[in-house]
Amino acid sequence: MEKEIVQRAVSRLANTMRIYGEEHIRYKGLVAIDKEEAIENLDRAWEATLEAFHTLYDVSKDDFDYFAQPDTSLLIALRNALHHRDHSLFSSLLPELWLNEGAERLEGAAFLLAGHKSRGGARSCMHHFVKLEDIYSRLDPSKNSSELLRLGKPSDIQKRFNLIAEGLEFKKVLAEAQAERYSEKKVYLDIMPIFISGVCRVFKALKLLGIEFKGYDAKTYEQCFTEELEVDLTSFEFKILRINMIQLHLGPTLTINEAATTYFRKRREEDA
């Protein structure tokens, strides 16, 4: 491992993470003026973080097995899918709601939003939702999707997907969707907790190998991602996003965080 090269890759990833955070802060003000620019800026900044994560993978994969862990394996798969663009998958929820023609068509629709819970540190106020169905279409051979990434033996592809699906407990999201009668196209997974988990995992491993966090951004994130943050990949928080007249009137200025409501189905059943 070329230590200096890896350290530069860590610094670049930290830099793109800061830029994404800044775009998230700017979103609220910009979206009221130009919704397309605000949403596209946010999504392009997100893709830049995945590109930087992949760069870190390129220079450190001999010392850390990214495909042995469900979070890092999914992040690499998502980056590759977004990089090659040979499919129609992984459009995030924001453009699906507000950049397609006729948002009014969604009035009355409800979306199930699932995100892994935090074990340590504050839960991120940033989110990036993609259809869970898209992950299955791209990575699960058993779905026989035309969008499937066909690199390698089918058995190896299936094994890799099973590691992701089981490690990230996708079955719990599918069970919740079935219990609440959501169609597959209305079920979205928040990738941000998975990203946080993956970055924490890699940063901790690299730090143990003697990698230093150089530069302002890398030093700023070092303690947070190696000592404070921890994501519970076995537990989910579920939210409902209902598209009503108020949501349509306010548009994307009412963020998903503000519009979606957390619910506990078990508690509702006990109250009934």
Residue 44, pLDDT above cutoff 50: yes
Pairing between β-strand 110-120 and β-strand 187-190 as defined by DSSP bridges: parallel
Contact partners, residue 60, CB within 8 Å, separation at least 6:
1, 6, 9, 202, 206
Predicted confidence (pLDDT) at residue 120 exceeds the cutoff of 80 = no
Helix (H, G, I), strand (E, B) or coil at 13: helix
What's the rounded Cα separation, in Å, for the pair 78 and 126? 18
pLDDT for the residue numbered 266: 56
Contact partners, residue 39, CB within 8 Å, separation at least 6 = 31, 94, 95, 98, 99, 252
Q: How far is CA 79 from CA 11, 68, 76, 169, 184, in A?
A: 19, 17, 5, 21, 22
Q: Please, what is the average pLDDT of the chain? A: 92
Q: What is the pLDDT of residues 45-64, one digit of tens each?
A: 999 999 999 999 999 999 99
Asked if residues 94 and 185 have their Cβ atoms less than 8 Å apart, the reply is no
Beta-carbon contacts of 137 under 8 Å, excluding residues fewer than 6 positions away, are 89, 143, 145, 147, 148
* pLDDT tens readout for residues 142-158: 888 888 887 778 888 99
